[in-house]
Amino acid sequence: MIHPTAIIDPKADIDSNVEIGPYSIIEANVQIGSGTIVGPHVVIQQHVTIGPDCHIFQYASIGAVPQAIKFKGEETILKIGRGTIVREFVTINRGTEFGGGITEVGEENLLMAYVHIAHDCKTGRRVILANNATLAGHITIEDFVTIGGLVAIHQFVRVGKYAYIGGKSAVVKDIPPYVIAAGDRAKLHGLNSVGLKRQGFSQDTLSLLKKTYRIFFRIGLTLNEAIERVKAEVDQVPEVVNLIKFIKSSQRGITR
């Protein structure tokens, strides 16, 4: 059902099973999948693709041009994956040509009120951003990450799988997978053990990750020394391999 006060460009591709509320504006070159609900007073600007079964609440701004000085009006896009919930006053900007041309929100994300996702960011599957969490440009958030309220994350930072960032944190370096980080500036506070258990991680895997965490972050080794020691002393289960790979590929440095 589309409310008669909604303004929809004829060049928008809206599935017949989409609900659009009063006074919302949908621009050209927007695609919205089946089962998605767009609340009242939402603005969805051009070059946005929204997957099926999403719910976008009132006053959200989706697909506005980037807040980037180098952006010169080039045609870039925003994609939002299936089943994502976008709460009130969320703002998500399109990508930039110099940043790859795409901002991408993954499947089954929960973006709480006043979240901001800037240009060229990418979030994985089942990511939670609590109220007022802010992503600067070019940030990568991997699967199953939870980011607390009032968190600010610096440009080009990566956050690894299953990490948890506590509220009111300022994140300026990469956050490894499977950990808890918090503070200004953010520091590590151990494994995200509760979250990992909830996601079905076995006790054996948790023990190996705990041993790996200790070697990397608690006994004063350099990262290169820690990598060699982990390879020599810890069983190379996929989670340990992923943690090593993440750390070795860091460009901004690792939060410790």
pLDDT at 49: 98
> Cβ(125)–Cβ(143) under 8 Å?
yes
55-56 β-sheet, strand order: 19-20, 37-38, 55-56, 85-86, 110-111, 128-129, 146-147, 164-165, 179-182, 187-191
> Cβ(178)–Cβ(240) under 8 Å?
no
In a domain, residue 237? The reply is yes
**What range does the domain containing 216 cover?**
196-248
Residue 212 sits in a domain of what CATH number? 1.20.1180.10
Active-site choice (47, 63, 120, 138): 120
In a domain, residue 150? The reply is no
CA dist 129 and 46 (Å) reads 24
Residue 83 sits in a domain of what CATH number? 2.160.10.10
Segment 65-85, tens digit of pLDDT: 999 999 999 999 999 999 999
CA dist 77 and 89 (Å) reads 20
In a domain, residue 256? The reply is no
Q: Rounded to the nearest 10 degrees, how much is the dihedral formed by the CA atoms of 15, 35, 66, 162? A: -150
Active-site choice (106, 137, 160, 195): 137
Mean pLDDT, rounded, of the chain? 97
pLDDT at 154: 98
Shared domain check, 205 and 100: no
Active-site choice (47, 116, 119, 138): 119
190 an active-site residue?
Answer: no
Domain count, the chain: 2
Shared domain check, 126 and 202: no
Segment 91-124, tens digit of pLDDT: 999 999 999 999 999 999 999 999 999 999 999 9
73 an active-site residue?
Answer: no
Shared domain check, 220 and 99: no
Say what the pTM is.
0.96
In a domain, residue 188? The reply is no
81 an active-site residue?
Answer: no
pLDDT at 147: 98
Shared domain check, 133 and 24: yes
In a domain, residue 156? The reply is no
Shared domain check, 228 and 126: no
Segment 140-190, tens digit of pLDDT: 999 999 999 999 999 999 999 999 999 999 999 999 999 999 999 999 999
CA dist 81 and 97 (Å) reads 21
Shared domain check, 14 and 115: yes
